[in-house]
Amino acid sequence: MNTDANSISIQLDGKVHPVPVGVTVAAALSLRGDGTTRRSVQGERRAAFCGMGICQECRVMINGQRRLACQTLCAQGMIVHTLSSKVIP
């Protein structure tokens, strides 16, 4: 999937996608999906909101750790799981 020098491939919810070099995980989620990062406690879809690491709406699992999509740059082979399919505590 690594098509050229300007793109890398990352895994988003189990599917491999090419994304441009240098983009944040938040941008990748929007470029390659609908931008959803998680479900709220009452089940609403949520996406990146404050864009600067304050609101925690964009928290996702990145390589097994809970991190903020807006403050994390995509890296080759990164595995990202959104929390969009389940209600998280």
Partner 1 sequence: MKTVRPHYCDVLIIGSGPAGMAAALAAAPAGASIVMVDDNPAPGGQIWRGGPGVQLPSEAKMRREALLRHANITQLNSTKLVAVPHSKEVLLEDAIQGWCLRYDKAIICTGARELLLPFPGWTLPGVTGAGGLQALIKGGLSVRGERIVVAGSGPLLLVVAATAKAAGAEVLRVAEQAPLSAVAAFAASLVHWPSKAVQALGLIHTGYRTSSHVLAASGQGHLESVRLQQGAHMIDMACDRLACGFGLIPNTQIGQALGCAVDEHNAIAVDAWQACSLPDHFAAGECTGFGGSERALVQGRIAGLAAVAKRADALALWPSRQRWDAFSASLQHHFTLEPPIKSLATPDTIVCRCEDVRYGQIASCNSWIDAKLTTRCGMGACQGRVCGAAAQHLFGWSLPVPRTPLTPTRISTFVQKAVKIDSSE
Q: How far is the CB of 85 from partner 1 (least distance, A)?
A: 14
* CA–CA gap between residue 5 and residue 89 (Å, rounded): 40
Selected from 8, 10, 12, 24, the binder of partner 1 by CB under 8 A is 24
Q: How many CA atoms lie within 13 A of 84 on its CB side?
A: 16
Contact between residue 13 and residue 59 where contact means Cβ atoms under 8 Å apart: no
Using CB under 8 A as the binding rule, the residues of this chain from 43 to 82 that contact partner 1 are 44-57, 59, 65-67, 70-73
* CB nearer to partner 1: pick between 1 and 88: 88
Selected from 17, 36, 60, 78, the binder of partner 1 by CB under 8 A is 36
* CA–CA gap between residue 57 and residue 38 (Å, rounded): 7
